[in-house]
Amino acid sequence: MADTAAKREADSVGGDELSHKVKKVKADDENGGGDVKKESEYENILSGFKTSKVLSDYAREKLMFIHGKLADQEAVVILEKTPIREDTLDELFSGSRLKLEMRNDIYSKYRLQAPSHLNEIKTTVVCPATEKHIKKYQSQESFLVEETGEDFQSITLPYIQKQSLSLQWVYNILEKKAEADKIVYEDPDPEVGFVLLPDLKWDQKQVDDLYLLAIAHQRDIGSLRDLTSEQLPLLQNILQKGKEAILQRYNLPGSKLRVYLHYQPSYYHLHVHFTKLGYDAPGCGVERAHLLTDVIQNLQSDPLYYKTRTLYFPLRADDELLSKFKEAGRL
Ligand code: G7M
SS3 state at 160: helix
The pLDDT value given to residue 41:
61
Q: Which atom of ligand 1 is nearest to the CA of 282?
A: 10
pLDDT bin (cut points 50, 70, 90) of residue 215 is very high
| pLDDT higher than threshold 80 for residue 23 | no
Mean pLDDT, range 128-135, rounded to an integer:
89
| Cis amide prior to 190 (ω within 30 degrees) | no
Q: Answer yes or no: is the C-beta of 179 below 6 A from any ligand 1 atom.
A: yes
| pLDDT higher than threshold 90 for residue 29 | no
State the catalytic residues: 271
The larger pLDDT score, comparing residue 95 to residue 23, is at 95
Domain ranges for the chain, please list them.
Answer: 25-81+120-327, 86-118
Question: How many angstroms separate the alpha carbon of residue 166 from the centre of ligand 1?
Answer: 12
Q: Which atom of ligand 1 is nearest to the CA of 261?
A: 3
Q: Which atom of ligand 1 is nearest to the CA of 211?
A: 10
> What average pLDDT is seen over the chain?
88
Ligand 1 site-directed mutation target among 200, 209, 211, 279, most atoms within 8 Å of CB: 200
Per the CATH hierarchy, to which homologous superfamily does domain 25-81+120-327 belong?
A: HIT-like (3.30.428.10)
Rounded Cα distance between 265 and 280, Å, is 18
Angle at which helix 292-301 crosses helix 232-250, to 10 degrees, equals: 160
SS3 state at 73: strand
pLDDT bin (cut points 50, 70, 90) of residue 11 is very low
Q: Which atom of ligand 1 is nearest to the CA of 169?
A: 20
Closest residue CA from atom 10 of ligand 1: 11
| pLDDT higher than threshold 60 for residue 235 | yes
pTM assigned to the model? 0.80
pLDDT bin (cut points 50, 70, 90) of residue 26 is very low
The pLDDT value given to residue 22:
36
- Tens-place pLDDT, residues 268-282: 999 999 999 999 999
- Tens-place pLDDT, residues 167-190: 999 999 999 999 999 999 999 999
Give φ, ψ of 141 to 5 degrees: -70, 150
Q: Residue 62 half-sphere exposure, CB side, CA atoms within 13 Å?
A: 10
Question: How many angstroms separate the alpha carbon of residue 317 from the centre of ligand 1?
Answer: 22
State how beta strands 142-147 and 185-187 pair: unpaired
Q: Answer yes or no: is the C-beta of 68 below 6 A from any ligand 1 atom.
A: no
Q: Answer yes or no: is the C-beta of 11 below 6 A from any ligand 1 atom.
A: yes
pLDDT bin (cut points 50, 70, 90) of residue 30 is very low
Q: Answer yes or no: is the C-beta of 222 below 6 A from any ligand 1 atom.
A: no
Q: Answer yes or no: is the C-beta of 8 below 6 A from any ligand 1 atom.
A: no
| pLDDT higher than threshold 50 for residue 21 | no
Rounded Cα distance between 74 and 54, Å, is 14
Q: Answer yes or no: is the C-beta of 290 below 6 A from any ligand 1 atom.
A: no
The pLDDT value given to residue 39:
53
- Tens-place pLDDT, residues 277-304: 999 999 999 999 999 999 999 999 999 9
The larger pLDDT score, comparing residue 193 to residue 6, is at 193
> Residue 105, Cβ neighbours under 10 Å: how many?
5
Mean pLDDT, range 149-167, rounded to an integer:
93
Q: Answer yes or no: is the C-beta of 9 below 6 A from any ligand 1 atom.
A: no
State how beta strands 257-262 and 289-291 pair: antiparallel
Closest residue CA from atom 14 of ligand 1: 200
The larger pLDDT score, comparing residue 17 to residue 140, is at 140
